[in-house]
Structure 1
Amino acid sequence: MENTGTGNPELLLNGIRDSRLVAIVRGSDGQAAAKAALVAMEEGFRYVEIALTTPGALQAISEVRAAAPAGCFVGAGTVLTVRDVDNVLEAGGQFTVTPALAESVDESARQGIPVLAGAMTPSEAYEAMNRGATAVKLFPASIGGPPYLKALRDPFPDIPFIAVGGVGLEQAAAYWDAGAIAVGLGGPLFGDVGSGGDLAPVRSRARSFVDLAAGFGRTAVESQR
């Protein structure tokens, strides 16, 4: 499948900055994961990753890519190897996400696919950007919380951080306030739907996150006037 639609890493990064949200689907059923991803998109999420640890993840990515609403993008999470990157591209994935500074960071950058690289420490964040990351996935963000992110941004104000891990509806705004360009949402958004759970609650939770992000954006614009 031709991998068009992202334009380039800068375009994807600007879109994530604007939406402030990335959805993360992980489970035991690829078909259920695909349905969950599409529900999130229908409710306003523009960026959804499907973890490769989900059985049938590549097929799910292909299905979501084919059915995604205009302006929505599907990527792959837990991308670790060069082969993973090749497989994601073949399936139509539009960005990759890693949990660590794996070889997939360099390979994604080499192939021109946007990569959100997992990092936790200052050294890892710096190294991620040197290796071509589009943004740094601060993971697991809950270890240090918003104060840790704020401390990281003091020496690295130009690194775009996405807070992932233990971020729910009640924590999201604090991470945005601390300087995260977006938050990544797994369990707090999807619950067990990636393994076949009820989709109905996901719609409600997705709308709540989208409304929260939109409201935060309006507040930020008003504060600058």
Structure 2
Amino acid sequence: MLAYKNYIFDLYGTLVYIETDEESLDFWKAIAELYGSMGAIYEANDLKKTYLQLVADEESRQSEACQLSHVEIDLLQVFKRLYIECPNRDSISWDPDLETASRLMATAFRIQSRKALRAYDGTLPVLAYLKSQGVKIFLLSNAQSAFTLQEIKQTGLYDYFDKIYISSDYGIKKPQAQFLEQVLKDNQLEIKDSLMIGNDFTTDIAIADHLGMASLFINSFGYDDKDLEEKNISKVPVIDEIGDMIGRIK
């Protein structure tokens, strides 16, 4: 018999390995070309600068709107504004369907920046085992729904979850306590019956600790014992990879 009835997982670095690069000039040149195909003309460096400014602007707006410390924006709004507020806006003679265009841009943005994406070797066996035991499995991810949902499907994880929570859909992110509280409320879960599993002590472990929920830390960044002690998670069970999880929850 398992120790818990409900298992709440982080995604990136916990169940899935991902590597992205949003810094290279070639990446921003490719995105500038895509915007140029819609008539919005940018130089690569100017596009990167404007993108970062708009992200900061949207984050500021979101913070003011909800009066919380850890907010999450929907990047689709940024991709829309990059078109609407482009330098040559007055000279564009046609307007695309911005909702469709922004989603296509989000997909292209992610594909262009992504260098690697795969489920860790132990991920699917662990999820399959939990599913076979009749427990509930949830995902709680600081991410963008516009491209993360597709990545969940690509890595074969989608059907294992009872429900998926992505921060861009809720306007807040871990470690904001209300994000985890939403999972508990929606699904009528008891804290004592639930376990949070993640690889980030500032988000995954912190949000569980704030609510008094048990957590399991996956050391995917390879911290040594001194690092773990300094990060004040010495009381949290630690495993090196997701495949080691089963032995810790029986």
For normalisation by structure 1, the TM-score amounts to 0.32
Q: Which protein shows a greater Rg?
A: 2
The higher relative CO (CA closer than 8 Å, separation ≥ 6) is in 2
